[in-house]
Amino acid sequence: MQEAEGRVKQGSNDLNTQSFSGRTRVPMRQNRSVLATNAAESNSALSTECAAAVPQSIRRESRTCPKCMKSHDLDDCEAYLNLAVEDRRKFLRTSRHCFGCYGRISRSHDVRSCRRRRRCKICSKLHPTGLQDVRLTQQLQQDVSLECNETQPKVVQSCATETDNGSESVAMSIVMVQLTMQSNPSVNITVYAALDSMSSACFISRDVWMKVGCPGEPTEITIKTITDECRQNTTVVTGLCVSSVLSGRLINLPRVYTQDVLPISVDEIPSHSTLQRFPHICHLVSEMPDRDESIPIGLIIGANCPKALQPQHVISSMDDGPFAVQTALGWCLLGPLQQNFHLDSISCSRIQAVEKPVCVRDTGVKEMMLQMYESDFSESLSKVSHHADEPAVCISLQQSDYAVSQDDRRFLALMESEAKLVDGHYQLPLPFRQLDVQMPNNRAQALHRAQGLERRFAADKKFHDDYTSFMNGMINKGYARKVPAKECDDKAVDSKLWYIPHHGVYHPRKPEKIRVVFDCSCQYLGSSLNRVLLQGPDLTNSLVGVLIRFRQESIALMADIEAMFHQVRVPESQLDYLRFVWWPDGNVNVSLEDYQMTVHLFGAVSSPSCANFASRKTASDNEADFCEEVADMLRKNFYVDDMLKSVADISTAKTLACAVQQICAKGGFHLTKFVAIAKKS
């Protein structure tokens, strides 16, 4: 029996399978009379079962077995299948074969990057069938009584066990709770939560997380269980809290990790009819809600949340029956609910989750900053080819050796058809990829980010003052405005709005000047503003070309467009996609309110192309009122918002400076910070 017990090792979870492996189910045969009683019969049965589990197309890929060097697949090899699962793993490691497809490991192929993973025919997970431990103990004594009165299996490797035979057999510590967010208590969902003292972390099912709508950050964790250790990419969620369905006391949860499935069965929750069978706990019917199979099992609360697990009262077991424990979340039962029941499967629970902090990534901000730097130092020319049916604003951008993409043509056609001059400024639409844009309401995410901003304000008064001054300046200049209360109520659940988180950055060379950046790449439930916008063609002049033309003459003339992006307006119908939350006058002691940008903002992927389009359209629309040289200055001597022009004499410099300032004003651009430098003769 020691040899048999040694072979009952649970190897069903492949090291690189990304499904949750915290609670491991070990399959057991219902009818023990048909088990193989000798090694030959067991090996034959296993070979047949494993061979049938692997598709023919996969088995044909490898003709030579790496174990016995014969012409068959490794999952068909008797010598390989006669090994215990741990010995099979050891063989694959020493022979440098992939745990996912049995292929050879090389620099370009390892188990983490494997794209040809086999699917196990027994458990349907992504690992070879040969790594699924389907063998039970061999040479079992045939005279073992099938009516064993024990409630524990022969081999138990965990502190927590359960059974699943389609009816209530063992009760686990599971309670019905209300799940909500700290930032938005009005959103709450009723779920079942497993109170797992053998888990070092808390987990939430992905479906429940999506319903709650709480923002999360991607991360990587290592999960160690009784049989396995695996790394997986997941999402860490903060700001969740739970309460009992019968009382309103809230318990804040620590960091919670999402999982596709939580391996907990509804049969582990006792019903009222079950409670009434036990005299010592039957009075709990009035204090425990009856089992409701329509309520999802959405949480595992681990030992890192002691307020939820701490016992308050205990009703002891009687006659080997269950005992009851009262916690802050309600009463729960633990123990056997039947006598002389038969075990079909066992679940073992011992979970240790270790998060790698360096893997928590802000995917939006880094990408946005890289795009900004690439835009600032791009050496590419204005690459828009001209055809007869293209917008007139692109006539000056002829480059016949460059092909314009279909998205760029759509962008230019949209801008040319929708551009209009409103109150002295060009109004250009947001270039959405689709006409009917549907986005989830991410106000909860914006509130969550604002809480982090509030904490920084409390720690840095100068940052708070600078941030408030910048935001008040935007509002006073009309770049942003408060959303009317009626619109807030009417569109509370509308899918045609988006809230943009924001943060402040200081320029390394100007530590006294702050710039508030709107994080348009921030994702919520897979959506972000930048994902639904067309970037548009690169209308920025070549930096090399601008600098070379700047060195042609002896007198240098420089100027700057003030807040270039903010001079281009957005149509009224699209302002709800540019919402953000802010405290009136920066006073964090009052409630956050909804605001919306009225202009194209710094951080949107389309803003550079929209601003450059408006600048070039200003030149095209007003060229007849000014000389061609002045219009060409807008087209050729600007690098984004910086003008660099050289002229031959001072009088020409004065004339051009006055003219270019006037033509910029025609499009709503304020040209300022003039500098002129002349060589001394």
Q: Which of residues 131, 155, 185 is at a domain's end?
A: 131
pLDDT in tens, 515-553: 898 999 998 888 899 999 999 998 888 888 899 999 988
Q: Give the model's confidence band at 365: pLDDT under 50 very low, under 70 low, under 90 confident, else very high.
A: low
Establish if 242 belongs to a structural domain. yes
Of the ranges 27-41, 79-93, 191-205, 253-267, which one carries the lowest mean pLDDT score? Answer: 27-41
Range 431-435 average pLDDT: 91
H or E segment and range at residue 444: helix 443-459
Q: How many residues does the chain have?
A: 681
Strands 240-244 and 250-252: antiparallel
Residues 88 and 206 in one domain: no
CATH no. for residue 318? 2.40.70.10
Strands 323-327 and 330-336: antiparallel
- Give the single-character DSSP code of 276: T
* Most confident option among 5-14, 28-37, 225-234, 489-498: 225-234
Q: Residue 50 belongs to what domain range?
A: 2-131
Predicted local confidence at residue 666, as pLDDT? 93
Predicted local confidence at residue 401, as pLDDT? 42
Q: What tokens appear for 337 in the block?
A: 């609910």
Q: Is residue 475 pLDDT above 50, yes or no?
A: yes
Residues 577 and 650 in one domain: yes
Predicted local confidence at residue 495, as pLDDT? 72
Residues 477 and 334 in one domain: no
Establish if 425 belongs to a structural domain. no
Q: Which of residues 359, 386, 410 is at a domain's end?
A: 359
Would you tell me how many other CB atoms lie within 10 Å of the CB of residue 681?
A: 4
Q: Which residue has the tokens 């890289």?
A: 370
Q: Is residue 60 pLDDT above 50, yes or no?
A: no
* Count: domains in the chain: 3
Predicted local confidence at residue 347, as pLDDT? 60
Those residues with Cβ within 8 angstroms of residue 248's Cβ, 6 or more apart along the chain or in another chain: none
Residues 195 and 316 in one domain: yes
Q: Which residue has the tokens 């010995």?
A: 87
Q: Chain centroid to CA 560: how far?
A: 39
- Give the single-character DSSP code of 525: T
Q: What tokens appear for 625 in the block?
A: 């009122």
Q: Is residue 429 pLDDT above 90, yes or no?
A: yes
Asked whether the beta carbons of 308 and 301 are under 8 A apart, the reply is yes
Predicted local confidence at residue 479, as pLDDT? 94
Residues 512 and 610 in one domain: yes
Average pLDDT, the chain: 78
pLDDT in tens, 196-249: 988 889 999 988 988 888 888 888 888 887 777 788 888 999 999 999 988 767
12 vs 257, more confident: 257
Q: What tokens appear for 311 in the block?
A: 């016992």
Of the ranges 7-16, 504-513, 584-593, which one carries the lowest mean pLDDT score? Answer: 7-16
Residues 531 and 665 in one domain: yes
Predicted local confidence at residue 491, as pLDDT? 55
Range 571-581 average pLDDT: 93
pTM, entire model:
0.48
Pick from 650, 660, 661: nearest CA to 629: 660
Predicted local confidence at residue 118, as pLDDT? 87
Residues 459 and 335 in one domain: no
Establish if 601 belongs to a structural domain. yes
Residues 100 and 174 in one domain: no
pLDDT in tens, 493-511: 567 889 999 999 987 778 8
Establish if 415 belongs to a structural domain. no
Map residue 422 onto helix, strand or coil: strand
Residues 124 and 174 in one domain: no
Range 480-490 average pLDDT: 77
pLDDT in tens, 61-106: 446 888 888 888 888 888 888 888 888 888 888 888 888 888 888 8
Predicted local confidence at residue 361, as pLDDT? 46
Q: Is residue 49 pLDDT above 50, yes or no?
A: no
pLDDT in tens, 154-205: 333 333 333 333 455 788 899 999 999 888 877 889 999 999 988 889 999 9
H or E segment and range at residue 611: helix 607-622
Q: Which of residues 307, 328, 359 is at a domain's end?
A: 359
φ and ψ at residue 279, rounded to 5 degrees: -60, -30
Establish if 366 belongs to a structural domain. no
Residues 182 and 294 in one domain: yes
